[in-house]
């Protein structure tokens, strides 16, 4: 069941439901639902990565991998997994598709700061929206070289 903690009626329903669960005999799980990143946020994230790739001289895929590896926010750029053959625990990179709005925002901010350190300017989301067509046209021209 989903409950909105900002709605008082939902809070009361959630408490009543929780009481039934803890007084029952069934095993239960409580999870928190985070907001998935928006389509606009996802588009802007990929623009940032593409601009970085173009300026850095890497493919988009390689630039995205490099950025996720270098990002200090390990809690969402990597996860632990068991290798299917060796059965050893290994660290893998999380797909950006799995980022929630907060994680995507942190990653975008970090990518812009990281690029700036290297002398690469990535426009803000507002600048991107204001000059979207020019920026996307330039990206499309450069994509054949990435």
Residues 84-93 have a mean pLDDT of 88
Q: What is the pLDDT of residue 87?
A: 87
Q: What is residue 75's predicted lDDT score, i.e. its pLDDT?
A: 87
Angle, CA of 100, 88 and 63, to the nearest 5°? 45
Mean pLDDT of the chain: 87
Domain boundaries, the chain: 1-33, 39-143
Please say whether the beta carbons of 1 and 10 come within 8 A: no
Structure-derived torsion over alpha carbons of residues 37, 38, 39, 45, reported in degrees to the nearest 10: -50
User: pLDDT tens across 58-77, in order?
Assistant: 899 999 999 999 999 888 88
* Arithmetic mean of pLDDT, 95-121: 93
Most confident among 20-29, 116-125, 127-136 (mean pLDDT): 116-125
Q: For residue 27, what pLDDT is reported?
A: 87
Q: What is the Cα–Cα distance from 3 to 32, expressed in whole angstroms?
A: 10
Q: Which residue has the higher pLDDT, 43 or 30?
A: 43
Instruction: Please give the average per-residue pLDDT across 10-19, as a whole number.
Output: 88
Instruction: Please tell me what DSSP assigns to residue 27.
Output: -
Q: What is the pLDDT of residue 76?
A: 87
Check pLDDT > 70 for residue 23. Answer: yes
Structure confidence at residue 131 (pLDDT): 85
For residue 24, which phi and psi values (nearest 5 degrees)?
-90, -170
Whether the predicted pLDDT of 146 surpasses 60: no
């Amino acid at each position: 069941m989903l409950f909105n903690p900002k709605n008082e009626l939902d809070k009361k329903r959630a408490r009543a439901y929780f009481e039934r669960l803890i007084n029952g005999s069934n095993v239960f799980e409580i999870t928190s639902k985070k907001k998935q990143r928006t389509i606009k946020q996802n588009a802007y994230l990929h623009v940032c990565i593409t601009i970085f790739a173009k300026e850095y001289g890497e493919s988009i895929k390689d630039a995205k991998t490099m950025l996720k590896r270098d990002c200090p926010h390990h809690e969402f750029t990597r996860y632990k997994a068991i290798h299917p053959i060796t059965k050893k625990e290994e660290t893998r990179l999380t797909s950006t598709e799995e980022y929630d709005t907060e994680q995507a925002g942190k990653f975008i901010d970090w990518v812009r700061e990281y690029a700036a350190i290297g002398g690469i300017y990535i426009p803000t989301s507002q600048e991107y929206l204001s000059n979207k067509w020019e920026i996307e046209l330039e990206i499309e021209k450069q994509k054949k070289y990435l």
